[in-house]
Structure 1
Amino acid sequence: MSQYKIEAGTAQHIGDRSEQQDRAALFSAPKAPGYMMAVLADGMGGRSGGAMAAEQVIRTAKQNFDLFSPQTETVEEMLKVIAHEVHTLIKLTGFSAEKQPHSTMVVLVITPEKSAIWAHVGDSRLYRFNGPNFAEHTIDHSYVEQMISKGKLTRSEAKNHKLANILVNVLGSSSTEPFATIGRHDGLKSGDSFLLCSDGLWHYFSDAELGAALAMNSPRQASEMLIKKARERAAGTVADNCTLVIVKLVTPPQEQRNYTASKMGRAI
């Protein structure tokens, strides 16, 4: 019997924007039983360009996962292919539509071998928790993160820096080829959880707050709570789209054995 079962869900809020340009989805793999994928994309580019780019992330991820087989490629290889194909398709779409669409991407794959493998481009994040305890999150591909790594900014200064929304690595860029940063965690167990989210959510929470919300609630309850609190904390500003995916590994229910004896009929 599996030591855990997967509970997952997605949620969105348009914030104070005129259009929802984030996208999120959950998929299973037809050719790879036991594998599941969570995808989140934050589109940028004005008008419908951002939504178009984010849709392309979801579509390309699903197409590649539908064809994925662990016999012929690794998850890491598939994730890099997804990023490359999305980048190319977004650029082509931008040329034909005379727009400048861009998108971030964060993708998580859970395997039946109890491994989690992920990739991200941009500042949409993946958080990993052990129960309520924060374990790690992806490092944004942003200007302020570069400044932090060089010791020119502290993390508290970076959060509200005027250039905090400037990204140095995005899908669809006309000037640079994007790269996908790959992460991995083996030995998954019941109590582990993952949060994929856009900057419209993570900007308003500490790591500890996010861990507590996921540990104490179902994915649906945690999603509702986090979006409500993000809206409260964004009051007085023009809040961005807010999107998240929650994946929790929980202990499966115990099988109830029935030992009730029933009276046997006498054979004649």
Structure 2
Amino acid sequence: MLSRTGGRPTNQDAYGFWPNHNNCFLALSDGAGGHSGGDYASKLAVKEALEFFQRNPVCSVDSIAGALRAANAAIVEAQRQTPQFAEMHATVVVLAIDSEIGTAIWGHVGDTRLYCFRNQRILLQTRDHSVLQTMVDAGYLPSGEVRGSPQRNLLLAALGGANGFEPCIEATAFAVQDGDVFLLCTDGFWEHVDETQMEQALQSSASQEDWLRRLESLVIAHGGEEQDNYSALAVSCKAHARVI
């Protein structure tokens, strides 16, 4: 995992994970709202999501939905109670992995992404809740132009949003295979690393730490002085022999 300030005065990204004997739950959030609002929103989202998983340690659609609802409700309540937090929001992605039966489920709000790699190739990725993603889906914008667009940060959904709470949750359990890799990352990270570079770096890396270092070098090279906060978590899934 890594989380950096980039060229900003503070880091408004937050992350965390909580494992038990057969599950692992992860959350990554990117806050917005000015002053201390974004920082607080992202930390609150991660805290509430992981605490929900601790109370409900099950890898299921309901658990993902409950964790996202808890995170959203906490931010909405903080907006209501504290005037300085009235405009704060956050994007988030949560991932639950059941290592006993080999399944994973995830959900997200906004443009913090999850990628799944199999055989060092991208098998799937989440779709941003953004204006540009809608244009891509409608055929009005090539997907390769999203990263460089000045409208990239126009979101259609976020935690604490006034237009309601509309998370996207994987509908069915995903069957994890030996060697699968998950990458959770904020927009400050994926903005400067395209999918081909992700795959190439993974193919030439000796470990997940090495992989993230290689990707971070691309972020630093392309980000410049105004680089946004950037954060990423990598999860490698390995099969283990069971002793009976």
Normalising by the residue count of structure 1, what TM-score does the alignment of the two structures yield? Answer: 0.83
Whether 2:221 is the aligned partner of 1:232: answer yes
Q: CA offsets per residue over residues 27-82 of structure 1, 9 Å max, x none?
A: 114xxx30101110001111110111111111111211111144xxx621111122
Q: How does 1:151-190 map onto structure 2 within 5 Å? A: 151-173=139-161, 175-183=162-170, 184=172, 186-190=174-178
Q: CA offsets per residue over residues 135-183 of structure 1, 9 Å max, x none?
A: 111000001111112222221233322211110000011x211211112
Whether 2:130 is the aligned partner of 1:142: answer yes
1:89 is aligned to 74
1:46 is aligned to 34
Structure-1 separation of matches of 2:167 and 2:149: 25
Secondary structure of the structure 2 residue equivalent to 1:201: helix
Which of 149, 169, 180 lines up with 1:192 in the alignment? 180
> Sequence identity, in percent?
26
CA RMSD of aligned residues (A): 2.0
Q: How does 1:256-267 map onto structure 2 within 5 Å? A: none
Could you tell me which runs of 5 or more consecutive residues in structure 1 were left unpaired when the two chains were aligned: 1-9, 256-268
Equivalent pairs, count:
238
Contact 1:127 1:136 in 2 (8 A): yes
Counterpart AA for 1:91:
V
Deviation at 1:25, TM superposition (A): 1.3
Deviation at 1:129, TM superposition (A): 0.3
Which of 4, 17, 35 lines up with 2:8 in the alignment? 17
Q: How does 1:7-86 map onto structure 2 within 5 Å? A: 10-29=1-20, 33-70=21-58, 75-86=60-71
Deviation at 1:252, TM superposition (A): 4.7
Deviation at 1:224, TM superposition (A): 2.0
Secondary structure of the structure 2 residue equivalent to 1:156: helix
Which of 95, 103, 109 lines up with 1:108 in the alignment? 95
Going from structure 1 to structure 2, the CA distance change for 1:243 and 1:232 (only over 3 Å counts) comes to: same
2:210 is aligned to 221
After TM superposition, the runs of 4+ consecutive aligned structure 1 residues lying more than 4 A away are: none
Counterpart AA for 1:85:
A
Could you tell me which runs of 5 or more consecutive residues in structure 2 were left unpaired when the two chains were aligned: none
Structure-1 separation of matches of 2:148 and 2:89: 23
Contact 2:31 2:37 in 1 (8 A): yes
User: Computing the radius of gyration over CA atoms, which structure comes out larger, 1 or 2?
Assistant: 1
Structure-1 separation of matches of 2:163 and 2:88: 14
Structure-1 separation of matches of 2:167 and 2:9: 30
Normalising by the residue count of structure 2, what TM-score does the alignment of the two structures yield? Answer: 0.90
Structure-2 separation of matches of 1:188 and 1:59: 26
